[in-house]
Amino acid sequence: MSTDTKSESPNERRSRTHKEIINLIEDRNNVLSQYYNLAKHSDDTNTDRSETLDLLEEFCQELVDYMAVGHFEIYRRIEEGNERRDEITELAKIIMPRINGTTQIAIAFNDIYDNTQKISDDTIAQLPRYLAKLGEELATRIELEDQFINTLLSETEKPKLTAVCA
């Protein structure tokens, strides 16, 4: 992001933050929806390998995009020292290491499953186990993100936080 946050007015910063949070929630909902479809598909023993690979490819791309939105749009401001509210910086010290941990799990999943042309049958067979671990990490991340978002926004600015329920 090329915008210099120090030269923005408080209203501009709030507006930008609100848009970033909306993007994060939309990306998160897309990931959750695709996660559910992939998990349901991978539990079916009569699945078509090519369909699984297509779902995996799409899911991995959405997963990486979702991780990037958080880190490069929302959390970067804190990492660069541009957040002015003490409450936010104190919360970030507590939760950012755990959010970063969930990112590492997601990246590891992506590293295993992103190159669908080279995935072995054994790796496909392990997909339900890897998805279960990733699902736990995504749930943790969502909980932490919601804490962060709710602290980041004032009561009057909070968007409706809703995860996709399939």
All domains of the chain in start order, with CATH: 10-157 (1.20.120.1370)
Q: How many CB atoms sit inside 10 A of residue 122's CB?
A: 7
Q: What confidence tens digit (pLDDT) does each residue in 129-164 have?
A: 999 999 999 999 999 999 988 888 854 454 555 555
Measuring CA to CA, how many Å separate 54 from each of 57, 101, 117, 150?
Answer: 5, 27, 10, 35
Q: Check: CB of residue 87 under 8 Å from CB of residue 149.
A: no
Is it the case that residue 4 has pLDDT exceeding 80?
A: no
Indicate the average pLDDT of the chain.
85
The CA-based angle 120-113-24, given to 5 degrees, is 165
Q: How many CB atoms sit inside 10 A of residue 106's CB?
A: 20
What percent of the chain is modeled with pLDDT above 70? 86
Angstrom distance (rounded) from CA 17 to CA 150: 12
Q: What is the largest CA-CA distance in the chain?
A: 57
Question: What pLDDT is attached to residue 161?
Answer: 57
Angstrom distance (rounded) from CA 119 to CA 68: 24
What percent of the chain is modeled with pLDDT above 90? 52
Q: Helix axis angle, 127-152 relative to 86-113, nearest 10°?
A: 160
Question: What pLDDT is attached to residue 2?
Answer: 42
Q: Check: CB of residue 124 under 8 Å from CB of residue 49.
A: yes
DSSP single-letter state for residue 114: S
H runs (alpha helix) in 44-126:
49-69, 76-79, 86-113, 121-125
Q: Check: CB of residue 99 under 8 Å from CB of residue 145.
A: yes
Question: What pLDDT is attached to residue 155?
Answer: 41
Q: Check: CB of residue 49 under 8 Å from CB of residue 115.
A: no
Cα 158 to its chain centre, rounded Å, is 19
What is the pTM (predicted TM-score) of this model? 0.82
